[in-house]
Structure 1
Amino acid sequence: MATTAAPVLSLSAPSSGSTCPPDYAHVSFPLPNKRYVGMLKCQLDPLATTLDTEVVRCDKVKPQPAPAAAPTKGKKAAAAPASTTDSKDEYEVELLDSVLFPEGGGQPSDTGALVALVDGQSGEHLRVSVRQVVRRNLDAVHYVDAPLEVGTRVRVEVDMARRIDHQDQHTGQHLLSAIFEREHGLDTLSWSLQRFPELNYVELPRAPTPQELVAVQQRCTDLIGEARPVRVRCELATEGSGVALGDKVPDDYKCDESGEQRPPVQRTVTIEGIDENPCCGTHYPSLAYLRTLYLAPFTTPIRGTNARVYFASGAQRTLAYLATQQAPAREAALAAGCALPDLPAKVDALVQGVAEAKRREKKLAGELAGFVARDLWERAQQGREGEGAGAGARASTLREDDATNSLEFLASVAAELKPRIDAAAPSSSLFVLACGATAGSPTAAAAGGAVLIVGTEALVVEAGKRVVDTFGRERVKGGGKGRWQGKVTGRWENGDALLLRRIVDEL
């Protein structure tokens, strides 16, 4: 492995925008000319915004969608896959070093740009976008939208708004998990960094109590206020060093098949006096950079006794998330006609009122079904006059009803008719019940309806067939023997009630 003659902590190439303290990264080995994952500029100096370096490989590839991220265990989570580029061509670029972080440890990759340099000056016409950086074995591979010749000096620029958000969440997650583990005995089983500005979550073996959530929130706030230092220790995992990789390190975190001897780097992130954990992500040199950590007062059960606890770190995401909650809450309060603090009580009263209205509606619908059934039966009896004792009871009805549960009402009518039909046996009986939006309904264009046929089995089957044949299979679909029920698409037209009556009369 080729190495530089520089001191152990010497960082490659000039960079700008960094205020990282010189003791942030402790590297226990000489740095090679070509840096690889575990010792990249972004991992040794997370506040650096640019880096001047050199292209060592550029290959044209066919753009492919990023693979779905697999679930991970421990204090890592899979990053959300990046979207593909719209360009027909895409290129893989490797550099001597990079200030762009490749996805890993639950942290998505950085995005940014590579700007070709001429005599140390940037040429904007040679600027290419970096949509994603991935780790391939130990190498950081940049996906760009235009080629760069090998040997070209480039300035690597980071999309700092994206980096800051990811760094906020990842550093905040380490702090949050440490407090849950140290002070409440709750290990973090997994975590997930969600899309901006949604809340992230950690998965714990049980749901913390409300009191524990308040205590953890306060403890994190205190430690941020103390500006606890965060440091990184980098060690080569070799037999000679006695350093072993953690059991949660990916299997492909090793040298490629080229035979070049490049031992992987074991990277440990330490929050002074609070936490020490292996991690490849970028982390602030101090908790003070977080400014705030918001811990949601609710949890979600998952996988038995486990629970998800939701959080947001840093002013950028926390304020954006609270804004997304404040706006709809304010609109809801205005619609409810109350002040925002009174909204929960108002919503509770509205919910109770709706529940009570539904109970009253159900009771009245039951009473109405009884009246409709009695009216149908009386009409059927009138139709039997002069036809003899063996004549069957037959009638139909079409009711206008915009409700989506119209079949439920028809079933109530059928239930009221059944004792009368049974008592009239062996006389044959047939009742065709239909309801739904009619041509005059304001929701007629979108609403549907229902048909329910009850009575003697042979008549029910035949009536069902005739309903489908008369109205068409595109309008009515259904089936059944002793009870035939069907769904109606669209509205009932004027004259459809007469068609139902004709079917009953013909049978």
Structure 2
Amino acid sequence: MKEFVTSVVSCCPAELKHEVNGKKETLKGFNVTFQDTILFPEGGGQPDDHGFIGDVPVLRVTRQGSDAIHFVSSSVEPGLELLLRVDWDRRFDHMQQHSGQHLITALADSMFGFKTTSWELGRQRSTIELDTPCVKPAQLQALEEAVNEKIRAHVPVHVQLLSVDDPAVEKVRSRGLPEDHAGPIRIIDMEGVDANMCCGTHVSNLSHLQVIKLQGTEKGKKNKTNLIFLCGNRVLKYAEKSFTTERALVSLLKTGPEEHVEAVDKIQKSVKLLQKTNLGLLRDMAVLIAQDFNKSSNRSNFFSFHKKEGDNEFMNIIANEINTEETLVFLTVGEEKGPGLFLLAGPSGPVADLGPRVLEMLEGKGAGKKGRFQGKAQSLSRRGDVEAFLQQHCQSQ
């Protein structure tokens, strides 16, 4: 059902910890219970449904015993009859992934003896935790072929409601009932494939799954393997995303899709060569900069230099080439107004005294010893102020 008219039983003030654009927020609203509902509360590894009470969005549905608790932003009057509507795109996606998980779990067990210990229905991909240290590529391929064969066979999916003491309960696959379970036990029966105790929402026929793609495996915890899969519309969305990426790469690389890997490999090798050449030039430049200062007839007891491109080694080469027992050296690399690296080198006493102040002015983190103080600067925008501060110190000596 996508729509359902029911009456309000209770409405109480409540708060919801909600994630918006990656940031957690606490929303003030109301918890509403109804005489009955078509919105699924989270459970069994499946997220909750979203939807509407009239025109008011339902942001969360949770279970407390036999009750479904609907969190909404505005109150509703107990006793009123209201229309509930399901966010069907979200619901159908969850139906496909959950029924797909049951099918994969059943065949992984019957074909290879791999038991499912848990699963997660993610926003973009779903994961089944299998009680095995590894799944071989040939097993993965055979499993994918088998689950899609069941989809093509349009196997019916039935829902049974059994009492707790029904002997048939003992014959179905289960990971146990929650402690606060109430009412009959719900069995999802994929005809001739699997019968499993489950509270979640499912398709009525395996053909509604469309297709299942096993994306591969990852090492799980405690000798377990995580099997990653996409089901139904998620496969189509993944194909569309991949095709969009492919078209972009064709435009960027000026080659057909079958040549993309080779083209990227060539670019990577070229970049590595250029980086190596660039590093060599930077090292040579560092030596020349220091030599130029050393040869200067009017050099002072303070030397400062900044270069956008560079690294710690670049700065240390300059400092090594200059007699820092007599000269205070202040070097920086990075964006002039942004983050970067700095090095203060010179006589041990002054460097130890001046380093913390330089660190403070650059809003950085760092440390020093034996005449060197270096670290990361949050911003080099005050580099000129640091330079003036150090020059003033040297002139006073």
Report the TM-score range of the alignment, normalised by the length of the smaller protein: 0.7 to 0.9
Letter in 2 for 1:311: F
Structure 1: which amino acid aligns with 2:51? G
Cα RMSD (Å):
3.6
Aligned counterparts, 1:402-417, within 5 A? 402-403=308-309, 406-415=311-320
Cα distance change on mapping 1:287 and 1:348 into 2, 3 Å: same
Return the alpha-carbon distance in structure 2 between the equivalents of residues 94 and 305 of structure 1: 44
Offset from partner CA, 1:408-459 (integer Å, 9 cap, x none): 3112344556xx88xxxxxx5445141336xxxxx533254412304xxxx2
Helix, strand or coil for the counterpart of 1:147? coil
Percent identity among equivalent residues?
Answer: 24
Larger Rg: 1
Q: 2:11 corresponds to which residue?
A: 59
Mapped to 1, the partners of 2:25 and 2:163 lie a distance apart of 34
* Change in 2 beyond 3 A, CA 1:485/1:168: same
Shift of 1:54: 4.5
CA 1:299 to 1:363, structure 2 compared with 1: closer, same or farther past 3 Å? farther
Q: Aligned pair 1:313/2:265, yes or no? A: no
TM-score normalized by the length of structure 2: 0.81
In the alignment, which residue of structure 2 is the partner of 1:49? 2
Structure 2 CA distance for partners of 1:188 and 1:360, relative to 1, 3 Å: farther
Residue deviations 1:324-346 (CA, integer Å, cap 9, x gap)? 33334433442333333322222
Larger fraction in helix: 2
Q: Is the 8 A contact 1:93 1:143 kept in 2?
A: no
Number of the residue aligned with 1:5: none
Query: Is the Cα–Cα contact under 8 Å of residues 91 and 147 in structure 1 kept in the other structure?
Result: no
> CA separation of 1:147/1:472 partners in 2, compared to 1, >3 Å: closer, same or farther?
closer
The match for 1:453 among 345, 348, 355 is: 345
Which segments of 5 or more consecutive residues in structure 1 lack a partner in the other structure? Answer: 1-47, 68-82, 116-126, 255-263, 385-393, 422-427, 438-442
Aligned residue type for 1:360: T
Please state if 1:92 is matched with 2:32. Answer: yes
Matched position secondary structure for 1:346: helix
Q: How does 1:116-127 map to 2 (within 5 A)?
A: none
Q: How far is the alpha carbon of 1:166 from its aligned partner?
A: 0.8
Instruction: Give the distance between the partners of 2:258 and 2:40, measured in 1 at CA.
Output: 43
Which one-letter code corresponds to 1:474 in the other structure? M
Q: Which residue of 1 aligns with 2:63?
A: 135
TM-aligned CA distance change 1:281 to 1:321, over 3 Å: same
Change in CA separation of 1:155 and 1:359 when aligned onto 2, cut-off 3 Å:
same
Task: Tell me the residue number matched to 1:269.
Answer: 188
Alpha-carbon offset, residue 274 of structure 1: 2.3
CA change 1:347–1:140 in 2 (3 A) is same
Q: C-alpha separation between the residues in 1 aligned to 2:185 and 2:385?
A: 80
Q: Give, in whole Å, the separation in 2 of the partners of 1:211 and 1:220.
A: 14
Contact conserved, 1:436 with 1:492, CA < 8 A, in 2? no
2:331 pairs with 1:444: no
Matches within 5 A, 1:294-309: 294-296=213-215, 298-303=216-221, 305-309=223-227
1:217 CA drift (Å): 2.0
Match of 2:46 among 107, 115, 119: 107
* In structure 2, C-alpha distance between the alignment counterparts of 1:330 and 1:89, rounded to whole Å: 46
SS of the residue 2:159 aligns to:
strand
Q: Which residue of 1 aligns with 2:111?
A: 183
Q: Distance in 2 between matches of 1:229 and 1:338?
A: 46
In structure 2, do the counterparts of structure 1 residues 139 and 410 end up closer, same or farther at CA, with 3 Å as the change threshold?
same
Judged with a 3 Å threshold, the aligned counterparts in structure 2 of structure 1 residues 99 and 360 are, in CA distance, closer, same or farther, namely same
Give the Cα separation in 1 of the matches to 2:301 and 2:255.
52
Letter of the 2:200 partner, please give it: G
Contact 2:355 2:368 in 1 (8 A): no
Secondary structure class of the residue paired with 2:338: coil
- 1:362-416: CA deviations, max 9, x gaps? 334344444445555555xx679xxxxxxxxx8554333113x532311234455
- Residues 344, 351 of structure 2: 8 Å contact kept: no
Q: How does 1:299-378 map to 2 (within 5 A)?
A: 299-303=217-221, 305-314=223-232, 316-378=233-295
SS in 1 for 2:17: coil
Q: Distance in 2 between matches of 1:495 and 1:93?
A: 64
Which residue does 1:219 correspond to in 2?
146
Question: Quick one: which amino acid aligns to residue 135 of structure 1?
Answer: R
Distance 1:501 1:60 in 2: 68
For the residue of structure 1 that corresponds to 2:380, the secondary structure is coil
Tell me which of 143, 147, 151 is aligned to 2:76.
Answer: 147
Deviation at 1:154, TM superposition (A): 4.5
Structure 1 counterpart of 2:196, one-letter code: N
Normalised to the residue count of structure 1, the TM-score between the two structures is: 0.65
Counterpart residue type for residue 252 of structure 1: D
Superposed, 1:190-209 pairs within 5 Å as 190-195=118-123, 198-204=124-130, 205-209=132-136
8 A contact 2:7–2:81 mirrored in 1? yes
Q: Which amino acid aligns with 1:230?
A: V
Cα 1:178–1:241 change in 2 (3 A) is closer
The one-letter code of the counterpart of 1:176 is I
Aligned pair count reads: 386
Aligned-partner Cα distance in 2 for 1:105–1:356 = 53
Amino acid at match of 2:343: V
Q: CA–CA distance in 2 between the matches of 1:304 and 1:430?
A: 58
